[in-house]
Amino acid sequence: MKEQLFILFAVISGSALIPFIARKIRITSAALEIVYGVLLFNMLIETRPDWFPLLKELGLIYLMFIVGMEIDLRKFIIERNFHWYIIIPLLPLLIFPVLFHYLGYPFFLGVVVSMISAGIIIPVLKEFEIVDSDAGRNIIGIALTGELLSILVLMAVDIHHQYGITLRAAVESAKFFLLTAGAVLFLRLLYIIAWWNPEKVKKVMESEDPVEEGIRVVLFIAFAGAMVAYVSGLEPILGAFMAGVVFSYVFKSKGRFEDKINAVGFGFFTPFFFIGVGADLNISMLASLPVIQLSLFLTLMVFASNLFPLLFCHFMKIKMLYALGMSFILSAPLSLMVVAGTLGVKMGLINGQLGDALIVTAVVSSILYPSLFRPIARRMYSDFHGLDQDKSPENSSALQRGRTSHKF
């Protein structure tokens, strides 16, 4: 029992200290959590308790719910560049799996390097105060649409892996989407009930709920989505993601309640997942030259898969420099790459060595490409606010004192 408590204390202590360190050295908390997991469970602790994989899985499910909740379908459909938000992330998902297969790698590896995740992108844009600029809206539009497309591709891969191209695959897909439609109707009914009880909703949404009824309902929705996917024969994380999308679609205005949802996830659940990813990483592989070479190759391919903004910048009517910045910041799909790599190993589409290489790639990309984006972000800020570059938020001492760490 003492050993179990010590392990739990070590994990929670690390998750508490890491955001402060991450803010200081300007890299994402999730990347440091993976590194901490590698060090903790490969150098300090030899055994892993039975409860740890369960908490890791719960963290992954809730993480995917939050990722889905960030997607506002209504908002981006009305954007003038909406068709580019689909084309730019869709092209690499179509091209790179074929390219990797031609190069002799598993096609799934091409799928993973083509994925886009908004987990790092949105906090970085907020840090530089360019979320509301034209460039910021374009980046977020591509990131969130690409994230949705990436999850749909993962879902298609999962169904094909289990059932192939058969009638059973079509039936299972239809069953999942019917259950999702049922969830939409249920949440819509919940929304109507909430509309008739505004005082109760205000109490829940404005942090005045002493027993946190709203958070309990959200946890139920997140894990109910996972169970719907499980019953449908799909991976639970895909259901949790769709539950987040549905929740965001039905409840348009979440106010401070969204902060409570994020606090539960990033404050408790998701650190167990990222630390668990590091714990499962085979540290001996990091001394293997082929793994290092493969990781560097995949890191370059992640950037190559996000070069399409440069190709289409003229048609999108954006500056070439801004398009390069988009390519850099879109090349940091930490959370989704780790999730996809974990899922690929679980389904047997890639081996453990490739899974480890993907985790290393995710960490390197999440540090390298946002760092390359920073000088361009300062220029975006200056152009957006009509200021000199030395007045950018990164150079403001007030902001330095008040900056918050990245979510992922």
Burial class (CB in 10 A: 0-12, 13-18, 19+), 175: middle
Q: What is the pLDDT of residue 1?
A: 67
**Structure tokens, 113:** 């390097």
> What's the pLDDT tens digit per position in 344-363?
988 889 988 888 889 889 88
From residue 405, how far is each of 59, 61, 130, 192 by CA, in Å? 19, 22, 17, 36
Mean pLDDT over the full length of the chain: 80
Determine the pLDDT at residue 126: 74
Average confidence (pLDDT) over 210-220: 72
The pair of structure tokens assigned to 290 is: 């082929």
pLDDT digits 0-9 by tens, 245-266? 777 777 766 666 677 787 787 7
d(CA 382, CA 397): 17
Give the model's pLDDT for residue 88: 93
pLDDT at 196 over 70: no
Report which of 96, 90, 87 is spatially closest to residue 305, judged by C-alpha positions. 96
CB 39, CB 18: distance < 8 Å: no
Q: Where are the domains of the chain?
A: 2-402
pLDDT score at 399? 41
**Measured distance CA(395)–CA(403) in Å, rounded:** 12
Q: Which one is predicted more confidently, 317 or 182?
A: 317
Residues 153, 26: Cα–Cα separation, whole Å:
32
Rounded CA-CA distance 405/407 in Å is 7
pLDDT over 90 at 19, yes or no: no
CATH class as words, domain 2-402: mainly alpha
pLDDT band at residue 194 under the 50/70/90 scheme: low
Mean pLDDT of 209-231: 76
Task: Report percent pLDDT > 90 for the chain.
Answer: 16
pLDDT score, position 89: 93
187-191, 257-261, 323-327, 372-376 — which is least confidently predicted?
A: 187-191
Q: What is the pLDDT of residue 258?
A: 72
Token pair listed for 68: 């889905």
